Structure 1
Amino acid sequence: MSKISSYDIWIILAGYLAAIHVGKLSAVIPILQKDLNLSFTQAGLSLSLVQGAGMLFALCIGAVSEKIGLKKCLIFALILLGMSSFAGLWIDHSISLYFFRFMEGIGFLTISLCAPAILKRLSTPETMNFKMGLWSSYMGVGVSLAILTIPVLLEWLSWQHIWALFGALCWLVALMIYHFLRYDDKQTTVTTAPLNTSTSNSFLSIVKATVTHPPILCLAVIFACYTSQWITLTGFLPSLYVSFNMDLKLAGILVSMVVLSNLGGTFGAGVLLQKGIAPFKLLQFSFLSLILCSWVVFSQPYWLIFELQYLCAILFSFIGGIIPTTVFANTLRYAPQVNAAASSMGLVLQISACAQFLVPPATAALVSSSHQWYNAAWVTVSLSTLGLLTSYYLFKIYTQKKEPI
């Protein structure tokens, strides 16, 4: 455990809690459709709306957080996330659901930007990949916890009270970080030096350095190709399994195992990177596997046995977990300048958020219009193909130009 400190644990815990708020809605989509009279497409919109803030503000929040202070922004984000979730007690219409999901998105986004930037500054070259592997598991852990625990909690509490409980946990973690995280925003990372050693504090210079740095742009597209299809598959799996006449609680348990399997990939990628496995090989293997697995997952049950479909869902999430660790490690290590770690992560998350905002409702609309779940596979296969091409461009073209990727 020498690779990780108690400070790291609080930061990673904040990420896990933020991801719970992303996954909490997919666990209750069938209930929300009844309580709020939502169509399936509207449910898809509410699922992706948490990414609305990232789609609009990720790069700006990343750059501003470096100036305000990463710890301050992390605490603010937890407070905001808690308030928005607690407001679930008063959600009685689709408009209020959309509004508070957007506000939760701001909190989730800020945590996603500030937490890894703090981890980078607290890391050494020997611990960097290990911590990134641990951090990258935050989506898998958080979403799986939400999907697994909410159907059980629904036996005693309404979904509104469950959301209020999650909000209170955010405030508790914010208080712990305020009191126990000893962190100086002025300290700089001791990891690999970035390409550009200029450290201008100007907001515009940070943004310009980030958006004009091709490797960061490529990594953003690669990450978007993964996250948009992962959130689509895991978000709609409960509804897919319910359409197979499966009990919602059982569906929640099965899907939570799918999401939880993502941890194996994120942890494993950190170990593989530490052992010197090329990021290019990891990304190519992952996207090729996603193409095969997603095609099987969305096949009709009379084409393939359910057990095979479920195994492929597990493999999809497990192997897909390799991608975020690989992307995060390269994004933080090769930010264009020392104080552009959060803005680089912001650009990656902003492009990813755009994809996550658009893909779930588009997939839901495609499935609703065709009444065939297998059409969702065309979406996932297309995204994986784009991820393959972009990773090839990044690691083959830019390595020839001596970019240290």
Structure 2
Amino acid sequence: MSPEFPVRSHSDWPAIWLTVGVAVVAAMQLGKVPPAIPLLRQDLGLSLVAAGWLVSLVHLIGAGIGVVAGSLADQFGRRRLVSLGLGLMAVGSLAGALANNGGGLLTARAIEGLGFAAMAAGGPSLIFELATVRDRALALSAWGAFFPAGIALGLAISPLLLDHGWALLWAVNGVLLCAAALTFGIATRRLALVRPGGSAAQFAARVGDAARCPGPWLLGLCFTAYSCQWVALMAWLPTMLIEAGYEGKTAALMVTLVVAVNIPGNFTAGWLLQRGLPRTALIMATFAAMAASGWAMFGLALEPPVQFALALLFSTVAGIIPAAIFAAAPRHSANPDGIGAVNGFIIQGSNLGALIGPPALALVGTIVGGWQASGGYVVIACAVGMALALALAAVERR
């Protein structure tokens, strides 16, 4: 399907970069938790399972309500949903700073998760609307970079604040989110955007239109194939590096770098797509490169510095996938009012992979008795991703 979308004479780059910027602040909330886990367990008596839920709860909520949140962007308004999401995350982070037990902190984290799902669903639809046809691939590649950029910043900044307690970390992030929400709301209030609205029946129709088409499902599952390995690697890489002999702080810095190099991959995808490279071919080639670097990283008996170099290569190349998938959303939307629902499938698939990836990789390592089988896990996930991209190409040729 090739719907006609509203055409702009020029891209509103200040509003696009502001949207990406506030999304980076939101993604910092995913990076703040891992460094804080030892202190949280000590102060609040959290079990290892409860600490794991602090990490994965955001992804669980996103995997459950992504499509609904995306459709709400079309119904409620894309700009409004981003503002609402940032506000909810601010409330959740500030409430978390006041928590005095694990239950209170998990409840606050659930509020953050709802806010993140809303922000992540509204953002790409808004950026699509703010960009010209020519600039959409590049603009959406910038959006794809918000996730690794925010996580890298969260991982880098959190240890500096944790010396003064985890509650200060949560409070500072809450203030940052408040500032992001206010800045975004004020700066974008006069944007000329498509007016949202519609009845409950129209809301259901948007979801139904997206669900009846194979394209949104394939885009979401492609993202699952990507995130189930990239997020898993980022989750377990600190453990792998420490087991290889690196000190904890050194390992944390190395992981931050591996996350950060995912950013240029996103922009590379935008540049290539803007020059006419077929996106399904780009997705397949990227999965193939990820499979090769992932298998070499884990399957060969290499020295730790070489393995780390391969991890950098894996993450850099992998960044192409999110941008290519987000750029495909308009192609698989039945009409301009339904692009949010398609983005919802993508968000849901992304969070599903992030939710199942770390425990799946850990299970493989436990069964085999080491990380050496992780290369096979990466190859299988990439093979699934390539098959899904082939199916997507067939759909787009219709």
- How much does 1:310 deviate? 0.7
C-alpha distance after superposition, 1:252-272 (max 9, x if no partner): 211111111011110010000
Residue 66, structure 1, aligned to residue 63, structure 2: no
Partner amino acid for 1:390? L
C-alpha distance after superposition, 1:222-258 (max 9, x if no partner): 1111122111111222232233343332222111111
Give the distance between the partners of 2:49 and 2:380, measured in 1 at CA.
Answer: 21
Which residue number corresponds to residue 254 of structure 1? 254
Which residue number corresponds to residue 176 of structure 1? 183
Which residue number corresponds to residue 302 of structure 2? 304
RMSD of aligned Cα (Å): 2.5
What SS does the aligned partner of 2:164 have? Answer: coil
Give the 5 Å matches for 1:224-243. 224-243=224-243
- How much does 1:111 deviate? 0.9
Give the distance between the partners of 1:370 and 1:46, measured in 2 at CA.
Answer: 27
Give the distance between the partners of 2:367 and 2:101, measured in 1 at CA.
Answer: 25
Structure 1 residues 92 and 364, CA, compared in 2 at 3 Å: closer, same or farther? Answer: farther
Structure 1 residues 87 and 249, CA, compared in 2 at 3 Å: closer, same or farther? Answer: farther
Give the 5 Å matches for 1:3-402. 5-35=13-43, 43-154=51-162, 156-181=163-188, 182-186=190-194, 202-298=202-298, 303-368=301-366, 371-395=369-393, 397-400=394-397, 402=398
Structure 1 residues 99 and 298, CA, compared in 2 at 3 Å: closer, same or farther? Answer: farther
Stretches of structure 2 lacking an aligned partner (at least 5 in a row)? 1-9
Give the distance between the partners of 1:201 and 1:272, measured in 2 at CA.
Answer: 39
The answer to whether the Cα contact below 8 Å between 1:4 and 1:131 also exists between their aligned partners in 2 is no
With normalisation by structure 2, the TM-score equals 0.89
What SS does the aligned partner of 2:246 have? Answer: coil
> Is 351-360 or 33-42 further displaced after alignment?
33-42
Structure 1 residues 204 and 3, CA, compared in 2 at 3 Å: closer, same or farther? Answer: closer
Give the distance between the partners of 2:90 and 2:377, measured in 1 at CA.
Answer: 33
- How much does 1:40 deviate? 5.4
Give the distance between the partners of 1:368 and 1:147, measured in 2 at CA.
Answer: 26
- How much does 1:31 deviate? 4.3
The answer to whether the Cα contact below 8 Å between 2:226 and 2:353 also exists between their aligned partners in 1 is no
C-alpha distance after superposition, 1:7-59 (max 9, x if no partner): 12221112111111122223334444555555656544432221111121111
C-alpha distance after superposition, 1:149-176 (max 9, x if no partner): 222333x422331122111101101111
With normalisation by structure 1, the TM-score equals 0.87
> Is 312-321 or 367-376 further displaced after alignment?
367-376
Partner amino acid for 1:172? A
Structure 1 residues 123 and 94, CA, compared in 2 at 3 Å: closer, same or farther? Answer: same
Give the distance between the partners of 2:119 and 2:296, measured in 1 at CA.
Answer: 34
The answer to whether the Cα contact below 8 Å between 1:85 and 1:164 also exists between their aligned partners in 2 is yes
Stretches of structure 1 lacking an aligned partner (at least 5 in a row)? 189-198
Give the distance between the partners of 2:299 and 2:107, measured in 1 at CA.
Answer: 35
The answer to whether the Cα contact below 8 Å between 2:149 and 2:263 also exists between their aligned partners in 1 is yes
Give the distance between the partners of 2:139 and 2:192, measured in 1 at CA.
Answer: 19
Which residue number corresponds to residue 194 of structure 1? none
Structure 1 residues 290 and 214, CA, compared in 2 at 3 Å: closer, same or farther? Answer: same
Structure 1 residues 249 and 84, CA, compared in 2 at 3 Å: closer, same or farther? Answer: same
- How much does 1:82 deviate? 1.1
Give the distance between the partners of 2:104 and 2:294, measured in 1 at CA.
Answer: 33
Structure 1 residues 138 and 3, CA, compared in 2 at 3 Å: closer, same or farther? Answer: same
Aligned residues: 386
The answer to whether the Cα contact below 8 Å between 1:23 and 1:235 also exists between their aligned partners in 2 is no
Structure 1 residues 3 and 123, CA, compared in 2 at 3 Å: closer, same or farther? Answer: closer
- How much does 1:115 deviate? 1.1
Give the distance between the partners of 1:369 and 1:34, measured in 2 at CA.
Answer: 30
C-alpha distance after superposition, 1:321-375 (max 9, x if no partner): 0001100000134312210111110012113322322222333344456552334
The answer to whether the Cα contact below 8 Å between 2:222 and 2:388 also exists between their aligned partners in 1 is yes
Q: Percent identity, aligned pairs only? A: 26
